[in-house]
Structure 1
Amino acid sequence: MKASVGGYARATDLRHALDLLAASDGMGRVLAGGQSLIAALNMRLSSGDLLIDINSIDALKGVSLDGNRLRIGALTRHAEIANDPLVAQHAPLLRKATDLIAHAAIRNRGTIGGALAHADPAAEFPACILALDATIHVEGPDGPRDIPASDFFVDVFVTTINDGEILTAISLPMAEAEERQVIHELARRSGDYALAGVCLVRRAAGHRIVCISVGPRPELATAAMARLDAGDTDGAVAALRDALDPPSDTQATAAYRRHLVGVLLHRAIADLNGETA
């Protein structure tokens, strides 16, 4: 099946992209890596859209330090995140996550901004940026807007990006000297979406736990975090399982996913402590 689109326009800069989006009468679709959008168009899940290609906007690319924060442009490819020394030093969780994302062809084209805007709860980057307490930067007709990761994800494929806005960058605090960041997930085959996954960050202020593929959106597992802060590993695992209401589908039952996250949290904690689970 071939895609049905209403047109194509290549934006020369962010202002041009916003103008094209505003003039599209609600039918504009921002094209970054296209790994999800083109698939949806080919399956006719979306049709008649004006594709606004932002790939030529250099201001949306790359990784840099901005004061005491790491800033990642929305058009930064997964493969670039995997190889960037600043990411490896200041946000190793993102570096580790790239090894779990699909296959090389996807990683070479997919962008971190596209992954976050798509908001697939089975994807790694949404959970990672919440675990890292990141801020998502968007720009629209009314100017720039900063959205905490905790407020960004609403539901499956739904975020708080408004009509006419474009995700421009992500920023996050640089890793502390003793900070540890790990990610563990289980998939049926390498490159498949995870049946379940866990992101775990340990900072001076405490632990941050976010699960993958067990709900409609990534959320902080606050009860489990409190138990782990108190040094109660088994209590953290029990609290995490109790808090979840995962879906059942053709890949796994809810009960199996709930069991998996407990196993994965145990492994993540052992990894965090330099042990073997």
Structure 2
Amino acid sequence: MIPAAFDYLAPTSVDQAVRALAEGGEDAKAMAGGQSLIPVLRMRLAAPTLVVDLSRLVELAGVYDDGDSLLVGALTTHREVLLDPLVAGHAGLLRLATGTVADAQVRNRGTFGGSLAHADPAGDLAAPALALGAVMVCEGPGGTREVPAAEFFVDHFTTALAPDELLTRVRVPKLTGWGARYEKFARVAQAWSIVGVAAAVEVVDGGVERARVALTNMGPTPLRAHGVEEALVGQPADAGAIAAAAERAAEGADPPVDADADAEYRSHLARVLTRRALAAAVEAAVESAVGA
């Protein structure tokens, strides 16, 4: 289909982009890589009167060391995240999840910030951001504010961003030496997750010291699996403890019912994928400790 008519702007600074969004109001849409917005426009599921193209805001691309955290620019492409040595060394969970996003063509154009701001419940980056304790840096007419991932995702395709705000950077705490895994179950290769599990684990002296687990597509927003974390921390890093903890994966979830799966099946997948993700993350953490 052909999109409805709209005005188009390609600002060269964040200030210009914010001003354009403020003037456009709720009828304006920001576009980063366009991999989510363009299909929606073509299907006329959205009909903005103004599209603000962010692709010229080169200052919003790249990954930077910021002490205890990494700063990931919102316009950093998925491919750049995958190849970045800082991400590989300090945020392995993010790299693993990014590798499951769509296909190479989409990863070359799609952006880290665009995916998070789109807030698709089946998207693969929101749960890792939640598990890692990421903080979203947002800029609007009133200045800059930081929103924790736990508060950023509000509902289906809805975030804490105001209509005149941009997600400019994401602060990702370093989990150096942790083991990580992202397990995703999809109907076909390169498809959206029916269920996904993001897990990061720190193992010390054969026991689980800390654990972070978050779920994809088990509700309208990514879900932190606190029951799993509580059951695993302080336990031996072995198969029995992992299996017991994984049984709590669906606690507090509100799984959607659609053509791909019902709630019961999604809950089953959450438990199975959590067990797999934790086992792989623990193995990676042990290997990291041995190699340190």
Band of TM-score, shorter chain: over 0.9
* Counterpart position of 1:182: 181
Q: 2:273 aligns with which of 261, 264, 272?
A: 264
Point out where structure 2 has 5 or more consecutive residues left out of the alignment: 204-208, 236-240, 285-292
| SS of equivalent residue, structure 2 residue 283 | coil
Structure 1 range deviating more: 233-242 or 223-232: 233-242
User: Per-residue displacement from partner, 1:216-271 (whole Å, max 9, x unpaired)?
Assistant: 10121112210111424333222223432311211112111111111111111211
Which stretch shifts more, 113-122 or 195-204?
Answer: 195-204
SS at match of 1:115: helix
Give yes or no for the alignment of 1:172 onto 2:172. Answer: yes
Partner residue, 1:3 = 3
TM-score normalised per structure 1:
0.95
* Residue number among 222, 227, 232 corresponding to 1:223 in the alignment: 227
Hey, what does 2:212 align to over in structure 1?
A: 208
The match for 2:250 among 202, 219, 241 is 241
What SS class does the counterpart of residue 197 from structure 2 fall into?
strand
| Aligned counterparts of 2:48 and 2:150: Cα–Cα separation in 1 | 33
Q: Which moved more, 1:140-149 or 1:262-271?
A: 262-271
Structure 2 Cα separation of the partners of residues 48 and 58 of structure 1: 24
Aligned to 2:49: 49
Q: Distance in 1 between matches of 2:73 and 2:270?
A: 31
TM-score by length of structure 2 reads 0.90
**What is the aligned partner in structure 2 of residue 121 from structure 1?**
121
SS of the aligned residue for 1:161 comes to: coil
Partner-residue secondary structure (3-state), 1:240: coil
In structure 2, the residue matched to 1:79 is 79
Q: 1:140 to 1:246 in 2, by over 3 A?
A: same
Matched residue type, 1:118: H
Counterpart of 2:196 in structure 1 is 197
Deviation at 1:181, TM superposition (A): 1.6
2:25·2:164 contact (CA, 8 Å) conserved in 1? no
Please say if residues 29 and 48 of structure 2, whose CA atoms lie closer than 8 Å, have aligned partners that are also in contact: no
CA RMSD for the aligned pairs?
1.5
One-letter amino acid of the counterpart of residue 211, structure 1:
L
What one-letter code is carried by the residue in structure 1 that aligns with 2:192? Y
Aligned residues: 274
Contact persistence 1:71–1:170 (CA under 8 A): yes
Q: Deviation string for 1:61-107 (max 9, x for gaps)?
A: 11111122101000000011111111111111111112211111111
1:5 and 1:51 in contact (8 A); partners too: no
Are positions 1:135 and 2:135 aligned together? yes
- Name the residue aligned to 1:66: 66
Partner of 1:274: 283
Matched, 1:12 2:12: yes
Answering whether residue 149 of structure 2 is matched by residue 149 of structure 1, we say yes
Distance in 1 separating the partners of 2:274 and 2:67: 33
Query: Residue 63 of structure 2 contacts residue 73 of structure 2 at CA under 8 Å; is this kept in 1?
Result: yes
Q: Percent sequence identity over matched residues? A: 39
The answer to whether the 8 A contact 2:242-2:279 is kept is no
**Cα contact 1:32–1:55 (8 A) shared by 2:** yes
Distance 1:84 1:11, change over 3 A: same
Does residue 38 in structure 1 map to residue 38 in structure 2? Answer: yes
Cα shift readout 1:159-194 (whole Å, capped 9, x = no counterpart): 111121000000111123x31121111112110111
The residue matched to 1:246 in structure 2 has which SS? coil
Which stretches of structure 1, 4 residues or more, deviate above 3 A after TM superposition?
Answer: none
Distance 1:245 1:21 in 2: 33
How far apart, in 1, do the equivalents of 2:132 and 2:251 lie?
Answer: 23
Amino acid at match of 1:123: G
Shift of 1:48: 4.0
Counterparts of 1:5 and 1:25 in 2: how far apart (Å)? Answer: 17
Q: What is the alpha-carbon distance in structure 2 between the residues aligned to residue 48 and residue 68 of structure 1?
A: 39
SS at match of 1:124: coil
Query: What residue number does 2:264 align with?
Result: 255
Whether the 8 Å contact between 2:10 and 2:54 is mirrored in structure 1 is yes
Which letter does structure 2 place at the counterpart of 1:182?
R
